[in-house]
């Protein structure tokens, strides 16, 4: 069994996972309170405003297909340093953007660079740990991720209110620069030379991805992470408009509401660490699936209430979102560990392929949302957000109760 104790202190691994994976929610969440302000300042159409998120997510997924095999061939450290450096430059471009096309292009570049950090953060766990131990370490790291996600929306809302949306985007460059400094000073290479891939041609990569995609454990956990993130993406894409434009929350209050979801996610990661030793990976995912389902059904009930009576108060939506975020805090560390569990020598490629599927699902969800929110009957409605989260909760529960229960551990670890 691999162990980080033989390579580097556990706190370094946990901090690295928190920072590398935590840059993703910072990139997606911190700017949301500023999104209506950004749209007005640059005269963005609703489609362009949506593209600042969906374009980032698509490039995030595609970028992993490139960074993953490179990291399996030459190691994690060089990929992390390159990806974070380029992310800082892309973030600076978002600050100086003067039109929607430049802003969307900069966000696409951010997503491509972000993919290197998140992919390596997942793959290095497989470099160092066996599946269930890795899930516990991943959960500890994602507790740190939850703390960053908790701070991000509040910081973004206050910064947008006091200094404007450009300052909010600039803060991402500062965050990435600090993470790059940590990687440079503290994080050594985690992939030993004898476990690196020797080939990097496209024919070999395609055969490798086909082999990975055929593995039932990979498919189960990839569908788990994709379905739970798909419902979360609905929230990310529509919540700022729903809360600020429809339910008339201020940017600062909306930032606080977002942070309560991050707090619920944080609590979920704590429960993940508590449940794993007693319920195992499969049992923990099954328990979390019940919360995903409950959160989704609650959002459907709120939507039904608004159709039969009146718009609810903004706070009335929060309980369902808290349930969903709590479950998400369990599904993500378990699922992200599970996708690489059967591939100790191909962890980068497996992580990249899973991330690509997740991002593709999110991008398709974004396209559907763009069509739905363009319909006159739904333009000023909370229904697309609520029912989208309902679908995410129901599909996540189904995956947890069926596929993960059957194939949640690779055969060598299923005993």
Predicted local confidence at residue 242, as pLDDT: 87
In the 8-state DSSP scheme, what is residue 20? H
Q: Which residue has the higher pLDDT, 55 or 377?
A: 55
Instruction: In whole angstroms, give the CA distance from residue 23 to residue 15.
Output: 12
Predicted local confidence at residue 374, as pLDDT: 67
Predicted local confidence at residue 252, as pLDDT: 78
Q: Residues 6 or more apart from 214 whose CB is under 8 A from it?
A: none
Instruction: In whole angstroms, give the CA distance from residue 333 to residue 14.
Output: 12
Residue with tokens 């929060």: 318
Predicted local confidence at residue 317, as pLDDT: 95
Q: Is the pLDDT of residue 250 over 70?
A: yes
What's the rounded mean pLDDT across residues 104-125? Answer: 91
Give residue-wise pLDDT tens across range 25-72.
889 878 877 888 888 888 887 777 878 888 898 898 889 888 988 888
Q: Is the pLDDT of residue 4 over 70?
A: no
Predicted local confidence at residue 106, as pLDDT: 94
What's the sign of the alpha-carbon dihedral 362, 311, 397, 137? Answer: positive
What's the rounded mean pLDDT across residues 295-309? Answer: 94
Share of the chain above pLDDT 70, in %: 95
| pTM summary value | 0.76
Predicted local confidence at residue 7, as pLDDT: 59
Q: Is the pLDDT of residue 2 over 50?
A: no
Predicted local confidence at residue 35, as pLDDT: 82
In the 8-state DSSP scheme, what is residue 380? T
Evaluate whether 142 touches 269 at the Cβ level (below 8 Å): yes
**pLDDT bracket for residue 377 (50, 70, 90):** low
Q: Is the pLDDT of residue 413 over 60?
A: no
What's the rounded mean pLDDT across residues 107-132? Answer: 88
When the pLDDT of each residue in the chain is averaged and rounded to a whole number, the result is 87
Evaluate whether 288 touches 393 at the Cβ level (below 8 Å): no
Give residue-wise pLDDT tens across range 326-373.
999 999 889 988 888 888 777 778 888 888 898 888 888 877 877 776
**pLDDT bracket for residue 412 (50, 70, 90):** low
Domains parsed from the chain with CATH numbers:
8-187+197-407 (1.20.1250.20)
Predicted local confidence at residue 346, as pLDDT: 79
Instruction: In whole angstroms, give the CA distance from residue 24 to residue 354.
Output: 15
Q: Is the pLDDT of residue 323 over 90?
A: yes
Q: Is the pLDDT of residue 161 over 70?
A: yes
């Amino acid at each position: 069994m691999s162990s980080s104790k033989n390579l580097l202190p556990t706190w370094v691994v946990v901090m690295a996972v928190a920072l590398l994976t935590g840059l993703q929610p910072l990139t997606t969440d911190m700017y949301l309170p500023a999104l209506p302000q950004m749209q007005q300042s640059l005269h963005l159409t609703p489609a362009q405003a949506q593209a600042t998120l969906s374009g980032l997510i698509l490039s995030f997924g595609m970028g992993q297909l490139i960074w993953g095999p490179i990291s399996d061939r030459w190691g994690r450290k060089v990929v992390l340093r390159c990806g974070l450096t380029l992310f800082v430059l892309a973030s600076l471009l978002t600050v100086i953007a003067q039109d929607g096309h430049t802003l969307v292009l900069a966000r696409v570049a951010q997503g491509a660079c972000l993919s290197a950090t998140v992919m390596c953060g997942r793959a290095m766990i497989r470099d160092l740990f066996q599946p269930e131990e890795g899930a516990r370490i991943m959960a500890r790291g994602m507790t740190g991720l939850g703390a960053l996600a908790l701070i991000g929306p509040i910081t973004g809302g206050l910064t947008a209110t006091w200094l404007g949306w450009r300052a909010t985007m600039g803060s991402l460059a500062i965050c990435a620069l600090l993470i790059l400094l940590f990687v440079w000073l503290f994080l050594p290479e985690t992939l030993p030379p004898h476990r690196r891939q020797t080939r990097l041609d496209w024919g070999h990569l395609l055969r490798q991805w086909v082999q990975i995609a055929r593995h039932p454990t990979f498919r189960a956990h990839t569908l788990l992470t994709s379905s739970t993130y798909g419902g979360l993406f609905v929230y990310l894409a529509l919540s700022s408009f729903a809360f600020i434009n429809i339910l008339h929350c201020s940017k600062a209050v909306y930032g606080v509401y977002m942070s309560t979801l991050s707090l619920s996610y944080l609590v979920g990661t704590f429960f993940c660490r508590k449940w794993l030793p007693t319920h195992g990976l499969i049992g923990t995912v099954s328990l979390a699936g019940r919360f995903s389902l409950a959160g989704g059904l609650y959002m459907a009930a709120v939507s039904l209430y608004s159709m039969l009576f009146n718009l609810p108060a903004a706070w009335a939506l929060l309980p369902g979102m808290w349930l969903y975020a709590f479950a998400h805090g369990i599904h993500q560390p378990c699922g992200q560990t599970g996708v690489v569990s059967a591939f100790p020598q191909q962890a980068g490629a497996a992580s990249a392929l899973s991330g690509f599927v997740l991002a593709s699902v999110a991008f398709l969800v974004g396209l559907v949302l763009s069509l739905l929110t363009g319909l006159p009957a739904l333009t000023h409605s909370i229904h697309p957000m609520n029912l989208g989260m309902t679908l995410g909760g129901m599909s996540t529960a189904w995956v947890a109760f069926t596929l993960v229960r059957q194939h949640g551990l690779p055969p060598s670890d299923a005993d």
